[in-house]
Chains A and B, each alone.
Chain A
Amino acid sequence: MKRFDARITALRSVATGYRELRYEWPADLPPPSPGRFFTVRAGGRYDPVLRRPFAFSAWSPGGAGEPAEASFIFQVRGRGTRYLAELDTGDTIDVLGPLGTGFGKPRRGSRPVLVAGGIGLGPMLYLANALSIDARDGLCEAPVLALGFRTASLIPDVAMPEGTVICTDDGSAGYRGTVTGWLEGYDPGAPPYLYACGPSAMMAAVGAMAAARRAPYEAALEQWMACGVGACAGCAVRLRTGQYIKACVDGPVYDGNLVDWGAML
């Protein structure tokens, strides 16, 4: 973990209101594993004071004179993301990372089922690409990536693994309905190992399914953060036991079967 100024190597619109930003990754930092995140100062020196957390959507090692590169996908939603959207290639961003605990490996022989809603697709894309390599090595079945969007114009123009399932609420592309609706009718053909990132209602629905199928469930949690390093306890997420974990260090990937999803709605 360190704080560094990173040069933006690419910033492009990938869907209505969605951007993909790539930046140079320092040579002295290890590659961030899928599910880990970083925070970025999104504005001036004083305002906003809270750094914005984002999950990595890709990482490439560079080579042949090219620097390593990290990517993330964000939705332009508030003042922090508006600030980021107005930057240009060559500008620098103030990054703190890599932070948090990423995804674990699926059980041998299981089918990784990756479920994402809206902006949750970033870390899921990164994970799907990593698990495809594991599947080729025989460590698990081929992963299935299922993505839910409200409508077709929100589907990002990014490379997706073969066989990716697209769901839209209005039926303008792929399966008509929610991604969890699709999941209910899906036969994984092997014990499923669930991964998810998205809106709380979707995370809760995946949680209910995981419980019903007694499936492992790794959930990438989203919460406002202040420090990102475990110092402030601001990003608390409630467990079913009533205890709280810190999304920044205990997560953001945490056992979804233990999370009190009702408290997240």
Chain B
Amino acid sequence: MTQTDKLDLSVQIGSLTLPNPVGVASGTFGYGEEYAPLLDVNTLGALYTKAVTLEPRAGNPAPRLADTPAGMLNSIGLANPGMEAFITDKLPFLRTLGCPVIVNVAGSTEDDYALVVERLGSEDGLGGYEINISCPNVAHGGMAFGTDPALVERLVKRLVSIRDRAPGAASRRPVIVKLSPNVTDIGLIARAAEAGGADALSCINTLVGMVIDTKRKRPVLARGTGGLSGPAVLPVGVAVVYKVSRAVAIPVIGLGGISCADDALQYLLAGAVAVQVGTAIFSRPETPLEVLGGIRDFMEREGVSEVRCIRELL
């Protein structure tokens, strides 16, 4: 029997140590402040911010959401206040948190990504970058980057070299690349990101989907398609993590459809070192903490003292 206080829940992502493996996924948790009244943000393993782009983005036309069987579609379109407003208005609160903050970075061009990573390199209080090359809901950039291995390697290489030149501790922040499942061979993209120097990968972003209103005879979302998330995508994400974690040597962070500890454990057994809870937060904001509790219970039950060893059980 393993004692709870002896459990080692920490996770290493490059030079960054996460206190535990359960983070909250980009786009579902805003910039932390929104959900702070509903759960103790400090107890999270990591907070992945809503995407930040160089310039402010209004986002896509409404409606942006649709209800689907055991899931939802979103077409937010990376709505965000832009890098400078993020630094001025959002970062001060994020700096007060006890959990690592990983900024999700998105862009339309390689320069967009580069300028954001460069600028954030001179700001303290950040744990790392999650490079979003997998957003399915924008016309330029986003998923277009994440489906071409040569582009992925070049972009990641450039961002890593910018990161390396940052002052002080910022030069050691991990660059995590968030991958799209909307590709023929995700292993190919994963290896390209690894070759570019990525410290870790996040799998998966949402799957492209559409809901049609049969009364009005038109798609529910103004943009037509959106990204599918929620319990419905869980087995897709688990399969991707299983594949990708065997294709690369860098750590893989699993996300997609996690609603309870058992879902998260599937990812950890499949080969993920950490997980992110996303859509389930909308339904039950306390889900990340319940997931963490369930992982602890599992480790005690199975006699596993280090969370990083869970994958060895498969």
A residues contacting B by CB (< 8 A) are 1-3, 41, 45-51, 78, 80, 94, 96, 223-238, 242-244, 263-264
Partner of A231, one of B34, B71, B74, B283: B34
Instruction: Tell me the minimal C-beta distance from B80 to chain A in angstroms.
Output: 8
6 closest A-B pairs by CB? A231-B30, A231-B34, A224-B65, A234-B65, A233-B79, A47-B70
Q: Are B279 and A49 in contact (CB under 8 A)?
A: yes
Q: Are B65 and A244 in contact (CB under 8 A)?
A: no
Given A45-B260, A235-B62, A244-B59, 6 more A-B residue pairs with CB atoms under 8 Å apart are: A49-B280, A50-B282, A227-B30, A234-B65, A234-B74, A263-B61
Instruction: Tell me the minimal C-beta distance from B6 to chain A in angstroms.
Output: 31
Contacts of B181 in A (CB 8 A): none
Report whether over half of chain A's contact residues are helix, strand or loop; otherwise say mixed.
loop
Q: Does B196 contact A (CB under 8 A)?
A: no
Q: Are B38 and A2 in contact (CB under 8 A)?
A: yes
Contacts of B79 in A (CB 8 A): 233, 236, 244
Chain B, 16-48, CB within 8 A of any chain A CB: 27-30, 34-35, 37-38
Q: Does B259 contact A (CB under 8 A)?
A: yes
Contacts of B69 in A (CB 8 A): 47
Given A49-B230, A237-B62, answer yes or no on A41-B34 (Cβ-Cβ < 8 Å): no
Could you name 11 residue pairs across A and B whose Cβ atoms are closer than 8 Å?
A: A41-B283, A45-B260, A50-B72, A50-B282, A226-B279, A227-B282, A232-B28, A233-B79, A236-B59, A238-B62, A244-B59
Q: Are A224 and B67 in contact (CB under 8 A)?
A: yes
Contacts of A51 in B (CB 8 A): 282-283
Question: In the complex, what distance in Å separates the CA atom of A238 from the CA atom of B79?
Answer: 13
Q: Does B269 contact A (CB under 8 A)?
A: no
Partner of B67, one of A46, A78, A96, A263: A78
| Chain B window 45-72, contacts with chain A (Cβ cutoff 8 Å), 1 for yes, 0 for no | 0000010000000111111111101111
Q: Does B286 contact A (CB under 8 A)?
A: yes
B residues contacting A by CB (< 8 A) are 27-30, 34-35, 37-38, 50, 58-67, 69-72, 74, 76, 79, 230-231, 259-260, 279-286
Given A49-B71, A50-B72, A244-B58, answer yes or no on A2-B37 (Cβ-Cβ < 8 Å): yes
Contacts of B59 in A (CB 8 A): 233, 236, 244
Point out which of A96, A225, A227, A238 has the most chain B C-beta atoms below 10 A from its C-beta: A227
Question: In the complex, what distance in Å separates the CA atom of A120 from the CA atom of B49?
Answer: 35
B28's nearest neighbour on chain A, judged by CB, is: A232
Given A50-B72, A242-B58, answer yes or no on A229-B35 (Cβ-Cβ < 8 Å): yes
Q: Are B74 and A226 in contact (CB under 8 A)?
A: yes
Q: Are A244 and B283 in contact (CB under 8 A)?
A: no
Given A226-B74, A231-B50, A232-B74, answer yes or no on A47-B231 (Cβ-Cβ < 8 Å): yes
Partner of A226, one of B37, B38, B65: B65
Question: In the complex, what distance in Å separates the CA atom of A232 from the CA atom of B30?
Answer: 6
Q: Are B38 and A49 in contact (CB under 8 A)?
A: no
